Copies of this chain bind each other. A is one copy, B any other.
Amino acid sequence: MGLLFQKMTILGVGLVGGSLALACKTRGLVGEICGVGRGRANLEKARALGVVDAVMQDPAEGVRGADLVVLATPVGSFVSLVKAIAPALRPGVIVTDVGSVKGDLVRELEDLMPPGARFVGSHPIAGSERFGVEAASPLLFEGAQCVLTPTSRTDRQAFSRIKVLWEQVGSLIVEMDPHTHDRVFAAVSHLPHVVAYALVEAVLGRPGGEDLAAFVAGGFRDVTRIASSHPDLWRDICLRNRESLLREIEGFQTILSRFREAIAREDGEDLFRRFEAARKARERLQDKGET
């Protein structure tokens, strides 16, 4: 495949943005890559690692001449970032993102596009608890899902080009309405993150919690691994997917209370039934490719 875009500007050169840059570069999908970020040191690291060709601290300058702009900062900054770059976007540019929240945000971003600029929402399901450009890999998207969230206002040609971009870096494309996306990921991703953070606070954050750390085994480590994720990112996700996430937390609390009540009334049968059902549901996931 030849060049898909002449100049790609990535706003936020962290794990996901950096990996997309590397994936496009190693496959020759884009002509030139400009990385934009607030931190000079991180940008220089990205350039030294060969992740980007040029770096800029001013977003508007960074997107000048770009025919592809990728928002790869925490979702809470998308609106102000797009307001800042809008005057500098050239006609025909496609703006996409890698954010974990869509919903109303997609409509807001569509509204902010200047004439001739097209927005297409993307969410590659390929993060990890690691972060920063040092962790970037050209293989991050290989075999991973990428959810695209077109709306009635999405330009079909722009959509097709973004779809090809993600396919070329190895993603499996799923199309989803922006609000459906947020309900699904509130359940399978955002809730587990909040639960993991709360579990770490509950166990290690108590008075004397440091002493408990000595007895932590594999189970706690597994459950809480994602609590090492980037706090900025997750604050923004929680705030931006607030309603769906609140519903999920409430639903989880109801289920957890049922476990608590079964333990309180010493109902071994109910506990066994719930544990067994959860084990079976969890094992069906493993069948889908986990080792």
Contacts and interface: CB of A to CB of B under 8 A. Distances in A.
Contacts of A55: none
Contacts of A272: 231-232, 235
* Chain A residues touching B, majority SS: helix
Given A216-B285, A249-B263, A227 B279 contact: yes
A102 interface: no
A204 B235 CA distance: 25
Contacts of A268: 76, 235-236, 239
Q: How many copies does the complex hold?
A: 2
- Chain A: interface residue count, which band? 35 or more
Nearest to A129: B219
Contacts of A266: 239, 242
A202 B260 contact: no
Interface string A262-291: 011010100110111111011111101010
Interface string A179-220: 000001101110111111111111111100100110111111
A222 B225 contact: yes
A187 B203 contact: yes
A201 B199 CA distance: 17
Interface of A: 76, 125-129, 144-145, 147, 174, 184-185, 187-189, 191-206, 209, 212-213, 215-229, 231-232, 234-236, 238-239, 242, 245-246, 248-260, 263-264, 266, 268, 271-272, 274-279, 281-286, 288, 290
30 contacts: A125-B217, A127-B217, A144-B217, A147-B215, A188-B215, A188-B216, A188-B217, A191-B199, A191-B202, A192-B219, A194-B256, A196-B223, A198-B252, A198-B256, A198-B259, A201-B274, A201-B277, A213-B285, A221-B285, A222-B222, A223-B225, A224-B282, A225-B282, A227-B278, A227-B279, A231-B272, A235-B271, A235-B272, A242-B266, A249-B259
